[in-house]
Amino acid sequence: MITVANRFQIADEYADAFVERFQDSMGNVEAQPGFVKFELLTPVKGDAYVAMTYWESREDFEAWTDTQDFHDAHSGDAPEGMFTGHPELEIHEVAFEQQPE
């Protein structure tokens, strides 16, 4: 399994609008082969918002990025001033997982 983290720096006055953009434009990701789950993390300490997707494999994630659904979800212009920096993409392999018994 992999995680894909996209870190965003968002101006304070656009915090609610940024969250709404994700709620309104997921682009049918939940129907994609290999998709596990999505989380949008909002900052408690620090200033980065993090969009996290979990995938069965990197190939599944890359296949998603080639779909029309992906392009539709990532189209549309953000209001000027929403982003205070360039998004940073990170991809990690899950080495192990722990859950309560």
Mean pLDDT by runs of 10 across the 101 residues of the chain is: 96 93 78 94 94 96 91 79 93 95 91
The two tokens of residue 55 are 């995938």
In angstroms, the first-to-last Cα distance of the chain is 21
Give the pLDDT of residue 73. Answer: 77
Nearest to 18 by CA among 28, 29, 8: 8
CA angle 33, 17, 49 (to 5 degrees): 60
Give the pLDDT of residue 56. Answer: 97
Give the pLDDT of residue 77. Answer: 77
Q: What is the pTM of this model?
A: 0.87
Give the pLDDT of residue 55. Answer: 97
Domains defined for the chain, CATH in brackets: 2-93 (3.30.70.100)
Give the pLDDT of residue 27. Answer: 65
